[in-house]
Chain A
Amino acid sequence: MNILLAIILGTAFGFALDRAKASNPQKIINMLRLKDFHLMKVILFAIGFSSLILFILLALNVIDASHLSIKKTYPGVIIGGAILGIGFAIGGYCPGTSLVAAGRGRKDAIVFILGGLLGAFFYMLIFGIIKDTTLFDPIAGGAVSIAETTNSKFPALINNLPSLFIAGPFALIFMAVAFLLPNKTESD
């Protein structure tokens, strides 16, 4: 059953990324150059829209809060993000979109994936050396969310207000910025 769901959701995700043009390195690079905000609008709206509905459904007990998974916060999250950003700008791919682009027939995406496998392998080799360093010291308690998720494994930074009062405004801001960013598309 889980495998069938994985096929359905994975295929839908790949299809959606491709139709949203996220698998096109041209669109990614021109977004990062601040020349074409199409993908920025897509991503911001997707985050705001899914977040708003998620917290509404959590408040109504429709979504099982045990499905949530908040990742730990530590300095390596920011540094790793910054290292990822360099490759993101050079290649125009992130891990997910490179797979979709490879399926679409882009050969540079296949080479990106091979480089990615080597990068992940290099990390596996050096993890034993860096694992006890301050890179992994928890920040603000580690696995925390800003709004209360009702999952007791993950404490919230703001827990004296109903979660919709926190997550709701965040979500609306994301969606508003998506609407306000310029629509001009320089190139396809």
Chain B
Amino acid sequence: MKQNLSWLQGGIFLGAVFLAAVWIIKPVGVSTEFVIINGVVWNIFSPGLITQNEGAETAYSSTNAYLNKGGGTLAESVANPLNYGIVFVLSMILGGFLSGLFSKKKLPDNDKLSPVVWRERFGSNPKKRLMFVFMAGFFVLFGARLADGCTSGHMMSGMMQTSLSGYLFAAGAFATAIPVAILLFKSKNPKT
């Protein structure tokens, strides 16, 4: 496999994976699994969170309104977490690891903490980057849960199926992401 894919090769490769997923099983989705992981941890510390309930559609219910919604489908996944969704998402980490392993170009140490564009604007203090990136993660997953999907589920899988929600999600996301990125990373040097 070539080290660097052109945009066209990258697009075909990614598109093929999305198509294979919907052909064989179901569309790709990621952000729901953050909820499942939270639920599994929460259920360890507070064992009454998920209960078996013959009356519920899935035979599981939860004292948490979110896990309990839709007949307890999320509660069921928390009770039996080793299913397709979570294994898919954990395998993505493996995919990233393998890509790095087979790549001749190693990632420089300073790039592992912050991208160049961040360091040019905010310096290389790792604490600042990690604080902001933690906040960014909070916003992204909170927003993804409110929207019921993220870039994978709404934008890619959704727009592939011509889902109205996918288009509106993409419009909402880029409406803030583009101006925030332009303003936040405005370079002090007007030439760049």
Contact = CB atoms under 8 A, between A and B. Distances in A.
B56 interface: no
A2 to B, nearest CB: 5
A119 interface: yes
A172 interface: no
Q: Which of A15, A78, A149, A183 has the most CB of B within 10 A?
A: A15
Contact of B38 (A42, A69, A120, A147): A120
Contacts of B169: 77-78, 80-81
Contacts of B87: 3, 6-7, 10
A174 B11 CA distance: 11
A7 B94 CA distance: 9
A145 B99 contact: no
A61 B128 CA distance: 53
Contacts of B132: 90-91
B65 to A, nearest CB: 3
Interface in A71-96: 71-73, 76-96
B123 interface: no
Contact of A146 (B24, B114, B134, B164): B164
A75 to B, nearest CB: 9
Contacts of B85: 6
A152 interface: no
B150 A89 contact: no
A3 B1 CA distance: 26
B184 to A, nearest CB: 6
A142 to B, nearest CB: 9
Given A14-B96, A90-B133, A112-B137, A85 B143 contact: yes
Nearest to A92: B115
A179 to B, nearest CB: 8
B15 A45 contact: yes
Contacts of A157: 164
A96 B147 contact: no
A69 B148 CA distance: 12
B15 A117 contact: no
A144 B168 CA distance: 12
B175 to A, nearest CB: 6
Interface of B: 1, 4-5, 7-8, 10-28, 30-31, 34-35, 37-39, 42, 64-67, 69, 82-85, 87-100, 107, 111-118, 129-130, 132-178, 180-182, 184-185
17 contacts: A6-B84, A11-B91, A13-B21, A22-B14, A32-B178, A43-B156, A46-B11, A46-B18, A53-B19, A82-B173, A90-B133, A95-B152, A104-B97, A116-B137, A117-B137, A120-B142, A135-B146
Interface of A: 2-3, 5-26, 29-30, 32-34, 38-39, 41-51, 53-54, 57, 62-63, 67-73, 76-109, 111-125, 127-128, 131, 135, 139-140, 143-147, 149, 157, 166-167, 170, 174, 178, 183, 187
Given A25-B115, A96-B150, A144-B163, 15 more contacts: A3-B87, A19-B99, A25-B118, A51-B162, A77-B148, A80-B147, A84-B177, A85-B143, A86-B143, A87-B138, A88-B173, A91-B136, A111-B133, A115-B138, A127-B64
